[in-house]
Amino acid sequence: MTVSGNLHLAWCRLLARSFALAGVSDVVISPGSRSTPLVLGFEAEEEIEKHTILDERSAAFFALGMARASGVLVALVCTSGTAGAHYFPAILEASQARVPLLVLTTDRPWEDHHCGASQTMDQGKLFGSHVRHFAELGLPDVEALQAVPRIAAQAAAATMYPDPGPVHLNICFRKPLEPVDAPRPEPHEAEVERLLSAGIPLAYAPEIQPSPTGIRRLAALCARVRRGLVVAGPAPWSQIHLVPEVLRLSAALGYPICAETSSQLRQGSCSPFCIPSFDLLFRSQGFLERHRPELILELGMAPVSGAYGAWLSLRSCVPRVVIAPHGWNDPHGNAAMMLFSPVGEAIRALLTSLTSQRLPVHPEPGWVEAWAEGQRVVEDQFASELSERQLTEAVVARMVASAIPPGATLLVGNSGPIRDLDQHGGMLARDVRVVHQRGVAGIDGWVAAAAGARAATEGPVVLLLGDIALLHDIGSLQLIRDDGPLVIVVINNNGGRIFEQLPLARCAEVAEAFQQHFLTPHGLTFGAFATAWGLRYACASSPAFLREAMSEALAYPSPMLVEAVIDPVESARRRTAFWSALAPRLEAIP
């Protein structure tokens, strides 16, 4: 059996080379014994960059951050046993958000299963229905070498088409796992060399075009409607290039653009059509009674805005057209039309159809101006918040968004930070790519994701997250390296303050349980954590200190942890006062 170690290595070398030809640019490896042949196979492949991360959970979010920030196909490699299970949270997010990932778990041979052998478990279909494709590759076999390039090409293609997302291959190896000296050329060597030079099957997905019938019907609907909105939900960073086209559509139809931060459409200066704080406008019943849309065009994934969702659930009679290339993005179940198409192709086809059919569009006079006035009122009211000397979560979000330079990458944690950015972040500088986790909307893995984004992109990287999210992933601070500006801004309001906005917070009879099990105050500061991992650190408790810390952090080519300290009681009071002052002003807009 001395030949098996070399066959394993040759088989894995062929597999790694095939993955490189199929578009895999990076592999994230977590150390382990059973994965030895696969690791050595990737090590021999010069066109794939290798990243070694000890903890599989961090490794998976690192890979997810890389894939999201760069659009490249990233592979993950781990050993047998529980190792692959630590990938699960990141796999769930990749699946829901349709991020391609190639997951390679290694396994023990069939004879070790179901007999109490150590580090052995059933790894078949480990991730269930959350992957687009699963294959059990079994043991490397000389007779099956010719299938290796096809398997690699098929797996890589399945991450992209027909529905992008993660793909899982489980690969068995029998000892010896390492290369061994062979007294003479082995039977597989010539075949492996032939296959290495032969390449892989080329796979091309079809180019999706919108339905002509659907476009004609949408054009006719737009021509009849005088009050319309464009609402954009979460999207991959590549949607940045659609900003001019969405603005052109908005101007042609006379529809304001309500874009969430994660939509990638909050780029550049704010035109009269851009309504970044639309979540607050949808909270005003009086404003919406006078300025109710008659048609909504939704772009991309379903928007996450709570106020928008609550309004939709009560206004099912408002026609809504969802335009997205994948998925049935209608959690409210009342869309009038689903148009399956890349957003850019649909916009271009719609504008062409309006012209070719000579369909005139007549937006209601003052419609855009009313929404623009709503945005102006929000900005005017928030100016008083920015002038205060104490920080709030919303002020931190606005200051961070304003400090990010063109071409940077912004990662935004879920729960409070993304909501505050949506309401108060305003417009971002041009070409700022936003990395989000709005698929399953978890708060985990953010530091690892930032490290992955840093490894895959040029320009500064900024991560804005809450204290609980940082504590979730505190061990991933070990991944932060001195390879460019990376700023981690943690909003420390001593617990999960997002829960204070739920009805449960107002139930006096469960106040003690609410404090202990939901707010979870921790009483920690983060300076010692920064010191432990050799990071520069600054603590800011006022807008002036935060502005100075952000300026310093973005100017140096090394990572920095900035802790923004929030008084949660004062911040909650100011949040309530802000809305109390804003609401009547919005309702008064004619």
Q: Each residue of 357-411: pLDDT tens digit?
A: 988 888 999 999 999 999 999 999 999 999 999 999 999 999 999 999 999 999 9
Which pLDDT does position 169 carry in this prediction?
A: 98
Q: With bands split at pLDDT 50, 70 and 90, how would you rate the model's confidence at 536?
A: very high
Q: How far is CA 7 from CA 27, 99, 296, in A?
A: 22, 33, 59
Overall average pLDDT of the 166-189 stretch? 87
Using the predicted structure, report yes or no on whether residue 104 has a pLDDT greater than 70: yes
Using the predicted structure, report yes or no on whether residue 278 has a pLDDT greater than 90: yes
- C-alpha to C-alpha distance for 18 and 22, rounded to whole angstroms: 6
Overall average pLDDT of the 464-486 stretch? 92
Q: With bands split at pLDDT 50, 70 and 90, how would you rate the model's confidence at 482?
A: confident
Better-scored residue on pLDDT, 502 or 562: 562
- Residue 451 and residue 62 in contact, taking contact as beta carbons nearer than 8 Å: yes
Which pLDDT does position 2 carry in this prediction?
A: 37
Q: Phi/psi of residue 207, each to 5°? A: -85, 120
Mean pLDDT estimate for the chain: 93
Q: With bands split at pLDDT 50, 70 and 90, how would you rate the model's confidence at 179?
A: confident
β-sheet bridge partners, residue 486: 461
Residues 6+ apart with CB under 8 A from 463: 410, 411, 413, 446, 447, 449, 450, 486, 487, 488, 489
Residues 6+ apart with CB under 8 A from 548: 538, 540
Q: With bands split at pLDDT 50, 70 and 90, how would you rate the model's confidence at 5?
A: low
Which pLDDT does position 1 carry in this prediction?
A: 33
- C-alpha to C-alpha distance for 399 and 413, rounded to whole angstroms: 16
Using the predicted structure, report yes or no on whether residue 168 has a pLDDT greater than 70: yes
Which pLDDT does position 183 carry in this prediction?
A: 72
Which pLDDT does position 4 carry in this prediction?
A: 58
Helix (H) or strand (E) holding 538: strand 536-540
Give the pLDDT confidence of 6-49 residue by residue, as tens digits.
899 999 999 999 999 999 999 999 999 999 999 999 999 999 99
Using the predicted structure, report yes or no on whether residue 94 has a pLDDT greater than 70: yes
Give the pLDDT confidence of 188-235 residue by residue, as tens digits.
888 888 988 999 999 999 999 999 999 999 999 999 999 999 999 999
Using the predicted structure, report yes or no on whether residue 447 has a pLDDT greater than 90: yes
Which pLDDT does position 425 carry in this prediction?
A: 95
Give the pLDDT confidence of 295-304 residue by residue, as tens digits.
999 999 999 9
- C-alpha to C-alpha distance for 122 and 114, rounded to whole angstroms: 9
Indicate the pTM of the whole model: 0.94
- Which domains does the chain possess? 3-175+186-198 (3.40.50.970), 212-373 (3.40.50.1220), 391-566 (3.40.50.970)
Using the predicted structure, report yes or no on whether residue 315 has a pLDDT greater than 90: no
Q: With bands split at pLDDT 50, 70 and 90, how would you rate the model's confidence at 506?
A: confident
Which pLDDT does position 512 carry in this prediction?
A: 80
Better-scored residue on pLDDT, 184 or 450: 450
Which pLDDT does position 75 carry in this prediction?
A: 98
Using the predicted structure, report yes or no on whether residue 518 has a pLDDT greater than 90: no
